[in-house]
Structure 1
Amino acid sequence: MSAFQYYVASSLDGFIATADDDLGWLLQFDSTEGVGEGYKEFMSGVGCVVMGGQTYRWLLRHEPGKWPYPDLPCWIFTHREYSAPEGADVTFVRGDVAEFGQDLIDSAAGRNVWLVGGGDLVAQFARARLLDEIIVTLIPVALGSGKQLLPVDGPTAPLELLSSRTIGGAAVELRYRVPGGAER
């Protein structure tokens, strides 16, 4: 059964990027022992990638000429007009995320749907009850401000901790089940 998963890194104070989308604070940990292995393990279960327009623009700007998901269908929720990288399976959509839930599940072909972000888009999935798991890696850095991890309108129901692990003696990955997530 496919799950909608938010796999993300966050600063200790709950931000996924600075206000100007800088990820330098995060990228300094790329070579930390266990980071690459955890990502590969997660990606082995992913069948479809979903992101917002700002995340898509960041990827195009910071990974020019290299699409990071060449073998996966990718859905971009945006109000702007974009073109897809050559050879990429990219679908641009606009509208309520709930309208696309089944399409995303179908696109994942029995595997999971990775909600890459940003946090505003994932909050829309949470409101639509299309968020099953949050897998957040807490990075030992405080940013003070920036793009929130999950900017919801109010308190959520308590999440159920499924697992935790230390990565490279520096970061902690926490895997939560979201109560009342999608019923499939």
Structure 2
Amino acid sequence: MSDFQYYVAASVDGYIATNEDDLAWLLQFEEAEGVTENYEDFMAGIGCIVMGGQTFRWLMDHEPGKWPYPGVPCWIFTHHEYAAPPGADVTFVRGDVKEFAPDLVSDAGDKNVWLVGGGNLVAQFSKAGLLDEMIVTVIPVALGSGKRLLPVERPTAPLELVSSRTLGGAAVELRYRFPRQAG
């Protein structure tokens, strides 16, 4: 069965973007040793991608005419009207994440579902008991404010640390499993 994985980078103070959706603080680490290989290894296990409308809009604004996930089905949870980039396998939906979970797993096949973000969308998956794993790369930058990593309504049960490793001599990747919820 597919896992729902939140693979994300965050500042040391727990933000995934500035309030203005600026990622320059993060992109300066793109070329750090091990980062590209780590991403490629992760993507090899992904069969379906899920993101929110703001994340989709950021991609379209910053990567015009280029879809970064060719051949991978992508579901966009949004209340806005967008057009899919040419050649992209994109489905726009509205509603409860639990309602669409079986379709996401079906699209993933024998691979996992990547919850790209944003944090508010991933928090909905967490609340629904659908978040299996969080792989967060902590970037050695403090932002002071911005879009939170995982804005849950109440504390989660303790997560299990599965692994940790250093990337590029400064960033740290932490892999956590969420406890299984009865239901």
TM-score, with length taken from structure 2: 0.98
Q: 2:127 & 2:53 partners in 1: Cα distance?
A: 19
Match of 2:79 in 1: 79
Equivalences, count:
183
1:67 aligns with 2:67: yes
- Aligned-pair identity (%): 73
Using a 3 Å threshold, how does the CA distance of structure 1 residues 53 and 182 change in structure 2: closer, same or farther? farther
Match of 2:135 in 1: 135
Match of 1:31 in 2: 31
Q: How does 1:143-158 map to 2 (within 5 A)?
A: 143-158=143-158
1:87-140, Cα deviation, whole Å (9 max, x unpaired): 000000000000001000001011000000000000000000110000000000
Any idea what SS the aligned residue of 1:47 has? strand
Using a 3 Å threshold, how does the CA distance of structure 1 residues 182 and 109 change in structure 2: closer, same or farther? farther
Q: How does 1:84-123 map to 2 (within 5 A)?
A: 84-123=84-123
Match of 2:47 in 1: 47
TM-score, with length taken from structure 1: 0.98
Q: 2:57 & 2:145 partners in 1: Cα distance?
A: 21
Displacement after TM superposition at 1:180 (Å): 1.9
Which blocks of at least 5 consecutive residues in structure 1 are unaligned?
A: none
Q: 2:132 & 2:179 partners in 1: Cα distance?
A: 7
Q: 1:14 & 1:182 partners in 2: Cα distance?
A: 28
Equivalent position amino acid for 2:3 in 1? A
Q: 1:174 & 1:112 partners in 2: Cα distance?
A: 18
Kept in 2: contact 1:4–1:115 (CA 8 A): yes
Kept in 2: contact 1:15–1:147 (CA 8 A): yes
Q: Which runs of 4+ in 1 moved over 3 A?
A: none
CA RMSD of aligned residues (A): 1.0
Match of 1:13 in 2: 13
